[in-house]
A and B are shown apart, each in its own frame.
Chain A
Amino acid sequence: MNRKKVMTTLATVATMGLLLSGCANQAAPEGGSSSAAGSSSAVDIPALTSIETPKNAVLPAGDGKAKCPATTTLAYIGAQTGANAQLGINIFQGIQLAINEHNAANPDCQVAFKKFDTEGDPNKATGPVTQATKEESIIGVVGLPFSGESKATGNIFEQVKMVHITPAATNPGLTENGWTTFFRGLGNDAVQGPAAAKFMTGKLGAKKVYLVQDDSEYGIGLGKTTSDALGDALIGTDKVTQGQKDFSATISKIMNSNADAVFYSGYYAEGAPFDQQLVAKGYTGTFVGPDGLKDDQFIKQAGDASKNAFFTCPCIPGELIPSFAKAYKSLTNMDPGTYSIEGYDATTVLLAGIDAGNQDRASLLDWVKNYDADGLSKHYKWNDKGELQAPTVYGYKVENGKIVPIGPIGE
């Protein structure tokens, strides 16, 4: 009996020790990642240091005289947890910032903000979306961030005529469903794929590109538009699954093919370990990924291997817009991430609508349909399908352990 007690106590103490040492170390990885220095690969494209913002951009604060019922609510529906949670977090923090700025400037119009978690998973997204559409007070949604979940839930929004602006989903097929409530706040993959192909064979000087895509709606769609645009430069393709950890067989094929660039069409949860394993097996070419990879999580999870990485993204580098970057940092203690500015801008469109008196679902939907104004990142005007009129694609690279923009590509 006595011995048992001693053992149990020992076990508890040791566990506590482990937990404590874990907490104490929490800050360590941040400091450690700065040692991932050195700029990326052979091709040297200088980083962009500033971008132009529209002069008359609509801001969330408005004129400060808005009036609205206290129940007025906007919602974010998308990943808060799950493997690709960071992209979702970037977005809802952008939304939160817009709503905070609006509410601070408009004492008579306090818009509430609700979040629903889909884990980024199409199978889990219908629940939260149904729940949100049943809440009468919610009149507009920013989301869903990913293409698969957007496809799975578009009809639910359509049935209740609720406007939703995706700040991140780029699958071109999403606007081909005849939906009238879906709007895309950025360029789609029919734009990004060809831009990426042109970027690789042009600026990066790749002769042999190997394309690997995952099994998501997004990865498949972008894989197709990219491989179509690559033409003869494409020397091989492979397909992987979401959640896969071991890419050795794919890597073996790539090494045999002597590719000088690898394009990964998917998300960072798989893209990062893939790049890391690729480099560990002696791959020396460049690694190019789309917006689904462009996140600091990619660098964190790929480690030093990420030095060979370039990204394409129909997103605007929000960190180069000083006013936005500063406000975002003071709210979240982080620099703006991928799609933070898109989330912010999409929310601004909805908030401007509320301020202009469109305070139910039908009139807010009408407002977005006829919207024609500058946001902080770009001009927002949609065609009848819900696509932006003039999207741009940016290129990014890894420099000193950070993702930095290198300017518009594919033009």
Chain B
Amino acid sequence: MIPTILMAAPVSNDWITLDFVSLGQNFWSATFDGLTFGSIYALVALGYTLVYGVLNLINFAHSEVFIMGCYAVFFTLSFLGFGPSAPNLGVGAIILNLLLALIAAIVASALTAFLLERLAYRPLRKRNAPRLVFLITAIGASFTIQYLIFLWRGPVPEQALTMFQTKPVFQVFGTIIYSDQILIVTAAVIMMVVTERFISKSRTGRGIRAVAQDPDTATLMGVNKEKIIITTFVIGGILAGAAALFYVMKIPSGVVYNGGFILGIKAFAAAVLGGIGNVRGALLGGLLLGLIGNYGQILLGNSQWTDVVAFMVLVLVLLFRPEGILGTSLGRSKA
């Protein structure tokens, strides 16, 4: 996080000028782009939030759960014959192909999350390791997966694939809305609403909340804690897999061994901003982070401000609401 902020430091002499004219001109396109990326942040943020809610563990390896999904998307689509040019297929065929890629990504990410839990965290839990050990293990697991991918695929990103020709769909406030933006935001919001419903209404969801609130009592009440934990990891993985498809759709050259790192940090920041452990908070935090970064960079004149602005807002929010905007409440009745 720190190098990112340092690298974002401006280098020109005229270093703070507010460009309201430019913000006015670009306001709506910044909004729509911000929402698109915000949705992707939010989907990944949910993985951090759920695991944190249940285990009080910041799962730093979640960014690698995400990048495995990206690789699955890449391999599935290149297997299905997608290349650098937009495919010459009908809408139905493209949707079918993308669904296959989505399933592959979800399976790959959920599997990675599952194995991660089994191989890295469960042995520690069995030995009642202190919380700090979990954190270090998470960072270690993150690097391990990153460099395994590195050994396998090398340092350069995969061939960029075009999933479909993005088409202008309609105009709002003089700004063109593209098909991919609609697709990503709609799908992400639907997935988040479903997750939220699942956690607040279903039996398993109740189990997750019970374990988050008080693991020991939950166990006494007949909740299978281990099963709940693994379910939580898998749900996080599923959402990360979906995020992976959308991410590769927007950034085809993003499939590289360390490609999840920055996004992971942003998603984690989004989770904290909204209130870590809170499902709605992750959605709000993700969308806000996407929007604030975009507005900030246009207002201040260049993209080097994106992260500065986003993290400044994070710090400010945490100063006044240390628990995030919506508070940390996976275990409580709110979520």
A29 to B30, CA, bound (A): 33
- Are A33 and B304 touching (Cβ within 8 A)? no
Whether, in the assembled complex, B213 has its beta carbon less than 8 Å from a beta carbon of chain A, the answer is no
With A25-B79, A248-B294, A249-B303: A276-B252 Cβ-Cβ less than 8 Å: yes
Report, as a range, how many residues of chain A touch the other chain. Answer: 35 or more
With A32-B83, A85-B155: A276-B7 Cβ-Cβ less than 8 Å: no
Whether, in the assembled complex, B137 has its beta carbon less than 8 Å from a beta carbon of chain A, the answer is no
- Are A29 and B159 touching (Cβ within 8 A)? yes
With A32-B84, A239-B304, A276-B252: A220-B11 Cβ-Cβ less than 8 Å: yes
Nearest chain B residue, comparing its CB with the CB of A238: B302
Chain B residues within an 8 Å CB radius of A240: 302-304
Chain A residues within an 8 Å CB radius of B161: 303
* Interface majority SS (helix, strand, loop, mixed), chain A: helix
With A21-B79, A220-B11, A252-B26: A238-B85 Cβ-Cβ less than 8 Å: no
Whether, in the assembled complex, B183 has its beta carbon less than 8 Å from a beta carbon of chain A, the answer is no
B113 to chain A, nearest CB (A): 11
Contact with A along B58-85 (1 / 0, CB 8 A): 0000000000000110010011001111
- Are A245 and B262 touching (Cβ within 8 A)? yes
- Are B303 and A250 touching (Cβ within 8 A)? yes
Nearest chain A residue, comparing its CB with the CB of B161: A303
Nearest chain B residue, comparing its CB with the CB of A86: B156
With A8-B118, A215-B7, A249-B30: A29-B303 Cβ-Cβ less than 8 Å: no
Whether, in the assembled complex, B4 has its beta carbon less than 8 Å from a beta carbon of chain A, the answer is yes
Q: Which of B17-57 contact A (CB under 8 A)?
A: 22, 25-26, 29-30, 33-34, 36-37
| Contact with A35, one of B36, B37, B83 (Cβ below 8 angstroms) | B83
B142 to chain A, nearest CB (A): 17
B34 to chain A, nearest CB (A): 8
With A29-B78, A246-B37, A256-B26: A301-B160 Cβ-Cβ less than 8 Å: yes
A11 to B251, CA, bound (A): 29
- Are B304 and A300 touching (Cβ within 8 A)? no
Whether, in the assembled complex, A241 has its beta carbon less than 8 Å from a beta carbon of chain B, the answer is yes
- Are A22 and B75 touching (Cβ within 8 A)? yes
Extra inter-chain contacts (14) besides given A22-B71, A32-B82, A281-B178, CB under 8 Å: A14-B107, A14-B111, A15-B111, A21-B75, A29-B159, A33-B159, A123-B3, A241-B306, A242-B7, A248-B30, A300-B253, A301-B157, A301-B160, A303-B83
B-binding residues in A (CB < 8 A): 8, 11, 14-15, 18-19, 21-22, 25, 28-29, 32-33, 35-36, 80-83, 85-86, 123, 215, 220, 238-250, 252-253, 255-256, 269, 272-273, 276-277, 280-282, 297, 299-304, 401
